[in-house]
Structure 1
Amino acid sequence: MIDKKNKKNKKIINFLLFIFLIIFLISCKKEIPSEPVKNNLPISERSFYIGLVPNPANTPNSTFDDIIKAYEETGKISEICMVWVEKQGIGEYDLLKQNQVITGVRVYGLKPFITLNFATIKQGSNGLEYVIDAPQGVTPSLSDANFRALWKNEAKNIAQDFQPEYFSLGNEVNDYFYFHPEDVDDYLSLLNETYSEIKQVSSNTKVLVVFSYNHLVDNNQWSMLPDFNNSVDIVGFTTYPHKNFSTPLDIPANYYIQLKSYINKPIAFTEIGWSSTGTNTEETQANFLLKFLELTKEINLEMINWLFLHETTLDGLPGHICDSDVVTIALKKSDDSKKQIYNFWVELKNLKLVN
């Protein structure tokens, strides 16, 4: 009886030793590294910042919670926040003071990018007109002393109170000068004077002017660019090549690299994008980001900003002058679901950022 009991105990002990041995071998087994996640991007590190417009989901019925979530998410997947308010000329300073958007941007660790425009598109007697955006009672002219003083003071106040990392003194300015080439010299002198005012109160702010790359190419405005090299810290461009090419593969290899022949300052792509509607798809949109990174590898880049975080709606004048497909140039759909490009963008954000 005792012998049987000993045999039974021996079996139990052997079983427990076997289990212990298995656990020991598993714990001592040399760890085999998992296969690294494939880098789908054409670059392995980046020297530029990336940014977005943190527009909320569910437009036009966005809630306050949607807005907060958009800023929070933008802070996680970008470094720069494009700040757009209803007024982007003289009067913008007061709006920024009231809505405190710059404070909100910095809460989420983002660098604010502010734009002060000197011109606007208005409905005139003969249709849409590109005109100087002057307050009532002020002569709408870049040569007018009163307008120049007011505009410089607006820029100085914005720079002094908000200390923005990036301050653009005109968005897609070549569009205005296409219709008013006689104003270029007055603008350049105003730009130089305003640059000095900004630097006196916010020396670390990087000042730039932004051009429409599509129209620069279409209208052969290359000769404008060298005149701005000595007036700004950075030269900016917006680019939406889906308006000129059927697929990203059709974009020529030298499409962006030719900028190096005209610009000796760092370059900021303040808005880039490709539609995902019509003949385009989410896959095409994602492929454009990859193609763009490939085509700009040899350019001294300061930043690359995708247009929107969420697909949106545009009404009023923006809805009238913009192509309908621009609302789809976003990383996510309006319902907050991710589009194909989203994961590529996050992969870009996670690349090592080098000086």
Structure 2
Amino acid sequence: MVKHSFSKILWAVGWGVISILTLAQTGCEKKENLNPQDRTYYMGFTPLPYALTPAAIDYTYTQLEQSADIVCHHFDDGVPWVEALKDTAFHPGLQQDWAYRKSRTLPSQKVFLAFTPIRFDRVALASYRAATPNMDMPSPWNTYSFNHPDVKKAYLTYCKRGIDFFNPHYFLMGIEVNLLLKLNPSLWQDYLELHTYVYQQLKKAYPDLPVAVSVSGIDLLEGYTDADHAQQTEGLTQILQQTDFLGFSLYSYQTRYLTGDLPTDMFSQLFSLTSKPIAITETGYPAQRFSVFTNSITFEGTEDKQDRYISQLLTASNHENMLFVINFVLRDYDQLWQAWGSKDDITILWRDTGLIDENASPRKGFQTWKSYLKIPKK
């Protein structure tokens, strides 16, 4: 059975979720349905399956063939540091995963490849990827920081091998990198050294390939989370010096507003942070009500709210000449969540963000998605 990365589901929310407990939730504003004459961006998903079964994996890729013109191959479960440094073969399991993904991506679909040197909890150097994802770092790797010469060499090799294998149209060399600045700022300068080195070397080797990093969009908007706005703004300025476009990881319900009304200028604020091309490298919105931490926090998600979010996002993105939009989860992963024990912790945060529900029924947001997908891409 092909193994896929699920570390996004396990990612620890860094913005202090408990602090939003006392914030009021409000109703939905009226949905606007503003289909443009032309679509400026590609639309896609990751191949994250709703269960770890061959049938679920096949279902997901079949749906991607019909519902996406770009596929995001998102790797957030460690780096094969040892093998990359030696430039030897990666573990067979990782090679098989790469080969299967490539075999199930249509030639007509664009490929967005996302790697990261940052651990999935965004506080340290990425874990080791070998026989299984997110393995403990072997010695002496467990003593290295981002700017160690071996880290630079190994990560660059890993990126090059991924690019050579997948031949992507867009490459992300870091995922939600500003969360490292937020959660462990002592490592930020070390990371920037790696960031600069890898970007410059990749541009020498692949001058025509758009290379970038993504940032947590909600942490760049003042007052949306508990992030230090001045610190985040400075970090963004540093990042933008070495990137071809800027990717936004956007989960608006993980802010002080929860699933209530968002400020009407959220998208315009976010998209005006840079004059460079932009992309929504991952996003999602829950279509069902759920609680976390023993009902301490409740998210009043509904199908209509999800549909409104998708419609507003796709409309705003077209106005901004977006490169592409990735909705991370295609189908709700209730089966996977139940296999983990139906916990009410952070593993549930993205469970209901699929545009197809757990029973394989398309939601309103999926119909909105498909209506935009039918619009000719410029």
TM-score bracket, shorter-length normalisation: 0.7 to 0.9
CA contact (8 A) 1:102 1:112 kept: no
Change (3 A) 1:260 1:82: closer
- TM normalised by structure 2 equals 0.72
Any idea what the Cα deviations from partners look like across 1:304-326, whole Å, max 9, x if unmatched? 1112111003477xx88735241
Q: Matches of residues 8-87 of structure 1 in structure 2 within 5 Å? A: 40-56=33-49, 59-60=51-52, 62=53, 64-85=54-75, 87=77
Match of 2:287 among 259, 268, 276: 276
Could you tell me which amino acid in structure 1 is paired with residue 357 of structure 2? Answer: K
CA contact (8 A) 1:188 1:231 kept: no
Map of 2:366 onto structure 1: 342
- Runs of 4+ in structure 1 off by over 4 angstroms are none
1:292 matched to 2:313? The reply is yes
Change (3 A) 1:66 1:115: same
1:116 matched to 2:115? The reply is yes
Q: Is the radius of gyration larger for structure 1 or structure 2? A: 1
CA contact (8 A) 1:331 1:338 kept: yes
Match of 2:145 among 116, 138, 141: 141
Q: Secondary structure of 1:228's match? A: helix
Change (3 A) 1:321 1:132: farther
Instruction: Provide the C-alpha distance between the structure 2 equivalents of 1:80 and 1:320, rounded to a whole number of angstroms.
Output: 32
Measure how far apart 1:193 and its partner are: 2.0
Change (3 A) 1:227 1:262: farther
Could you tell me which amino acid in structure 2 is paired with residue 177 of structure 1? Answer: L
CA contact (8 A) 1:70 1:309 kept: yes
Change (3 A) 1:56 1:261: closer
CA contact (8 A) 2:39 2:318 kept: no
1:97 matched to 2:95? The reply is yes
RMSD: 2.8
- TM normalised by structure 1 equals 0.76
Instruction: Provide the C-alpha distance between the structure 2 equivalents of 1:321 and 1:196, rounded to a whole number of angstroms.
Output: 40
Identical aligned residues as a percent: 21
Any idea what the Cα deviations from partners look like across 1:261-309, whole Å, max 9, x if unmatched? 4312111111122111212211111111112234444323111111211
Q: Secondary structure of 1:304's match? A: strand
Map of 1:333 onto structure 2: 357
Measure how far apart 1:260 and its partner are: 4.8
Change (3 A) 1:98 1:204: farther
Of Structure 1 and Structure 2, the greater helix share is in 1
CA contact (8 A) 1:277 1:325 kept: no
Q: Matches of residues 164-243 of structure 1 in structure 2 within 5 Å? A: 164-217=168-221, 218=225, 219=227, 220=229, 221-243=232-254
Instruction: Provide the C-alpha distance between the structure 2 equivalents of 1:252 and 1:86, rounded to a whole number of angstroms.
Output: 31
**Aligned residue pairs, count:** 304
Any idea what the Cα deviations from partners look like across 1:147-182, whole Å, max 9, x if unmatched? 222112211222223322222111111111112323
Change (3 A) 1:335 1:55: farther
Map of 1:28 onto structure 2: none
Instruction: Provide the C-alpha distance between the structure 1 equivalents of 2:146 and 2:75, rounded to a whole number of angstroms.
Output: 23
Change (3 A) 1:300 1:277: same
Q: Secondary structure of 2:124's match? A: strand
Map of 2:327 onto structure 1: 306
CA contact (8 A) 2:43 2:324 kept: yes
Change (3 A) 1:337 1:261: closer
Instruction: Provide the C-alpha distance between the structure 2 equivalents of 1:305 and 1:203, rounded to a whole number of angstroms.
Output: 24
Higher relative contact order (CA 8 A, sep 6+): 2
Instruction: Provide the C-alpha distance between the structure 2 equivalents of 1:252 and 1:347, rounded to a whole number of angstroms.
Output: 26
Match of 1:132 among 114, 125, 131: 125
Instruction: Provide the C-alpha distance between the structure 1 equivalents of 2:117 and 2:306, rounded to a whole number of angstroms.
Output: 32
Map of 1:11 onto structure 2: none
Instruction: Provide the C-alpha distance between the structure 1 equivalents of 2:111 and 2:344, rounded to a whole number of angstroms.
Output: 27
CA contact (8 A) 1:71 1:108 kept: no
Change (3 A) 1:311 1:343: same
Gaps in structure 2 of 5+ consecutive residues: 1-31, 85-89, 128-136, 290-299
Instruction: Provide the C-alpha distance between the structure 2 equivalents of 1:86 and 1:246, rounded to a whole number of angstroms.
Output: 25
Instruction: Provide the C-alpha distance between the structure 2 equivalents of 1:176 and 1:81, rounded to a whole number of angstroms.
Output: 26
Could you tell me which amino acid in structure 2 is paired with residue 47 of structure 1? Answer: T
Instruction: Provide the C-alpha distance between the structure 1 equivalents of 2:74 and 2:115, rounded to a whole number of angstroms.
Output: 10
